[in-house]
Amino acid sequence: GRPYDTLGSVIGTSENDKGSLKSLGINYLEADIEPYLKVHDSLESFLEPLVSKPTAIAYIQKSCGYSFGRRALSCHDIGRVSNVVHRINPDCAVLVDNCYGEFVEPEEPCAVGADLVVGSLIKNPGGGLALTGGYIAGRTNLVNASLNRLTCPGIGGHMGLTYNQNRLMLQGLFQAPSIVSQALKGAHLFAYVFSQLGLSVSPGPFDSRADIIQAIQFGTPERLINFCRAIQKCSPVNAHVLPEPAAMPGYPQEIIMAGGTFIEGATIELSADGPLRSPFAAFVQGGLSYLHVKHALQEALELARSGKLAFLDG
247-288 pLDDT, tens digit each = 998 899 999 999 999 999 999 999 999 999 999 999 999 999
Bridge partners for 256 per DSSP: 274
Give the pLDDT band (50/70/90) at residue 45.
Answer: very high
Give the pLDDT band (50/70/90) at residue 300.
Answer: very high
In this prediction, residue 275 carries a pLDDT of: 97
Strand ranges across the sheet with 57-61: 57-61, 93-97, 116-120, 134-138
Reference 291, options 143, 173, 186; nearest CA is 186
Phi-psi region of 238 (alpha: psi -120 to 50; beta: other; left: phi over 0): left
Answer whether residue 143 shows pLDDT above 90: yes
In this prediction, residue 314 carries a pLDDT of: 66
Answer whether residue 17 shows pLDDT above 90: no
In this prediction, residue 52 carries a pLDDT of: 97
Residue 231 gets which letter from DSSP? Answer: H
Strands 214-217 and 201-202: antiparallel
Q: What is the mean pLDDT of the chain?
A: 95
Strands 255-258 and 281-285: unpaired
Residue 263: partners with Cβ closer than 8 Å, 6 or more residues away: 122, 126, 128, 130, 131, 132, 269
In this prediction, residue 222 carries a pLDDT of: 97
Higher local confidence (pLDDT), 313 or 119: 119
Give the pLDDT band (50/70/90) at residue 157.
Answer: confident
Q: Rounded distance, CA 36 to CA 32, Å?
A: 8
Q: Rounded distance, CA 237 to CA 276, Å?
A: 24
- Mean local confidence (pLDDT), 292-309: 96
In this prediction, residue 13 carries a pLDDT of: 81
In this prediction, residue 313 carries a pLDDT of: 84
Helices (H), 58-165: 75-88, 140-150
**Secondary structure tally for the chain: helices H, strands E:** 8, 9
Q: Rounded distance, CA 313 to CA 264, Å?
A: 32
Helices (H), the chain: 7-11, 34-37, 43-51, 75-88, 140-150, 166-196, 221-233, 290-305
In this prediction, residue 235 carries a pLDDT of: 96
219 close to 277: Cβ distance less than 8 angstroms:
no
Give the pLDDT band (50/70/90) at residue 232.
Answer: very high
Answer whether residue 215 shows pLDDT above 70: yes
- Mean local confidence (pLDDT), 137-143: 97
Q: Rounded distance, CA 137 to CA 115, Å?
A: 9
- Mean local confidence (pLDDT), 227-251: 96
- Mean local confidence (pLDDT), 184-191: 98
82 close to 89: Cβ distance less than 8 angstroms:
no
- Mean local confidence (pLDDT), 87-104: 98
pTM, to two decimals: 0.94
Give the pLDDT band (50/70/90) at residue 244.
Answer: very high
Residue 32 gets which letter from DSSP? Answer: -
130 close to 122: Cβ distance less than 8 angstroms:
yes
Hey, how many other C-beta atoms are within 10 angstroms of the C-beta on 23?
Answer: 12
Reference 280, options 223, 195, 233, 201; nearest CA is 223
